[in-house]
Structure formats: C-alpha cells, structure tokens
Amino acid sequence: MKRRIQGSMLLELLLASAIGMLVIGLLVTTQIALLRNVQRTLNENTLYHQAYSALRTVREVGQIAMHAQVSNDGRQLTLILPRMDDNGNPFVPLTPDMDNPLMLNVNFAQGTLVMTHRGATRTLLTGLADRNAQGATYVPFTVSQVAPNIWVVHVRLSVRQGQGTTQRQIWYEETIFLRNSTQ
C-alpha cells in the first residue's frame, strides 16, 4: 500500500510539473506577442510624429510665403518668403526675398523630404515611397489658384514603415493657403 501511495504522489508531481511548464510556456508566448505589439505601436507613433512634424514645418513656411513654384515633375517646391529681420519677423510692407528662396525637395531614390534655406539643409522626413498604398504614383507638390489672388500648395506624401511583408504605407495630405501671396 505504501508503494502505491508513493507512486501516486510521483505521478501527481510529474503531472503538476507538466501543467506548470505548459502554463509558463503560454505566458512567455503571450508576453512575446505583447512586446511585439508594443514595439509596432511605438514605431507607428514615431512615424506619425515625424510625418506630422515635417508637415507642420512645411505648413508654417508655406503660410508666410509670398510666391510658390513647383518643378515640372512636382518633386521640388520653391517658396519665396518675405524679407525678415534677424528675429525672423517680416519687414512691413512685405517684400519678397528673392535672394533666399526656401526649397523643399522630395528624393524618392533616397526616400527623403529635404528643406534648404539660406545655405542650411535639413532632412524633414525619411521613408518616403514613390507610390501610394494602392501602388499608384503621385506628385508630392502642386500649386493652384482657388480664387482671385488666393493660391494654395498641396503636399502629398506616402510614408512607409517596416520592411517586407510587414511594411505599411501611410498617406499624408496637406493643403496650405499662401496668406501673403503675390502670384
């Protein structure tokens, strides 16, 4: 009888160990999946923040621009800003600063949006794709007149995140009214 009890206890101990290992395995698997989701969410938030920041910069300079011109392929936007003092305040009356145009360039080969002004170059955004999520090509910059003396700049950007099959593309579009337009 004593031998039977000892064997039964050993079997119960093995069964409990197996169940414990199964539970631990499920917990580890769940934790790994959770950490992957957290990382993906952090990457998406970083992408949204970078794209929003780049578009905010383009909007801020576009709103004070007096003139806008787009290259034939729509990848370069040239903005003529008003003359400004050392503090960045425009001189009144507004006069265009033709000597210091602000240039925004989209380079699809490098996947970048770059701003150049007064000899300084700054990369505003990386990860640009030359096609939208549906696979169609697009033109990043256009300028159009919407009413007499009212001009707008349209900015369209497809930004990719991730690699291979996990790659996502997010579409951003901004319409900027040129408040000081002289076109």
163-174 pLDDT, tens digit per residue, is 665 677 888 999
pLDDT score, position 165: 58
Residue closest to 51 by CA, chosen among 133, 129, 144, 103: 129
Domain span holding position 161: 2-177
Residue 66 in any domain: the answer is yes
d(CA 135, CA 81) in angstroms, rounded, equals 35
Of 4-13, 98-107, 117-126, the range with the lowest mean pLDDT is 4-13
Residue 169 in any domain: the answer is yes
Residue 182 in any domain: the answer is no
64-108 pLDDT, tens digit per residue, is 999 999 999 999 999 999 999 888 888 888 899 999 999 999 999
Burial environment of residue 66 by CB neighbours within 10 A (0 to 12, 13 to 18, 19 or more): buried
pLDDT score, position 6: 59
Residue 183 in any domain: the answer is no
Residue 159 in any domain: the answer is yes
Residue 88 in any domain: the answer is yes
Which residue is associated with the tokens 């064997």? 7
E-state strands within 59-161 = 67-70, 76-80, 102-107, 112-117, 120-126, 128-129, 141-147, 150-161
pLDDT score, position 1: 53
- Domain count along the chain: 1
pLDDT score, position 56: 93
Residue 37 in any domain: the answer is yes
Answer whether 0.85 is exceeded by the pTM.
no
16-66 pLDDT, tens digit per residue, is 999 999 999 999 999 999 999 998 888 888 888 888 999 999 999 999 999
